[in-house]
Structure 1
Amino acid sequence: MANHKSSLKRIRSNEAKRLRNKYQHKTTRNAIKRLRDAESKEDAQALYSNVVSMIDKLAKKNIIHANKAANLKSGLSKHIAAL
């Protein structure tokens, strides 16, 4: 167990950040699934800008790698084009 006040605070803040990152990542994954399950091209395009924004925020905060974000966005745009 940590002894210093600062290390105890770091443990608390790390846990809070971990939970926040986990929530944002899971929310984004669910949004991606909703976009992939969209039946019509119009519905998918309406969701696309929102999902891309979420992916960019994750990449900016280093929750996911920048290349993974690029691959996700590319795959989603190809999926929408194929509808």
Structure 2
Amino acid sequence: MAHHKSAEKRIRQTIKRTQRNKAALSKIKTLIKKVYNTKDKVLAEKYFKEAVSTLDKQAAKGRIHKNNAARKKSALAKYLNSLLTATN
């Protein structure tokens, strides 16, 4: 175990950050699944906006890489567009 006060603090900080990061990544996955599981275009657009917003926020905070966020947003937009053309 830790032998220094600073090492003990580091352990506490790491645990907190790990939990925070895990929650954020879980939220991203959930929002993305919501978009893909929706066939209604209006509802899908609502979920899409929420997912894109969360992706941007987490990328800005450094929890995911900005290119990773961009790739996910692009895939979601592609899916959303396929929904729109299929229903029109």
Query: TM-score if structure 2 supplies the norm length?
Result: 0.88
> How far is 1:5 from its partner?
0.8
2:16 corresponds to which letter in structure 1?
A
Larger Rg over CA atoms: 2
Aligned to 2:30: 30
Identical pairs, percent: 39
> How far is 1:66 from its partner?
0.9
For the aligned residues, what is the CA RMSD? 0.9
Tell me the distance in 2 between the aligned counterparts of 1:18 and 1:40.
Answer: 35
| Aligned residue-pair number | 83
Tell me the distance in 2 between the aligned counterparts of 1:24 and 1:65.
Answer: 13
Gaps of 5+ in 1: none
Question: Which aligned segments of 4 or more residues in structure 1 are displaced greater than 3 angstroms?
Answer: none
Tell me the distance in 1 between the aligned counterparts of 2:18 and 2:32.
Answer: 21
Gaps of 5+ in 2: 84-88
Aligned to 1:55: 55
> How far is 1:9 from its partner?
0.7
Task: Look up the SS of the partner of 1:39 in the other structure.
Answer: coil
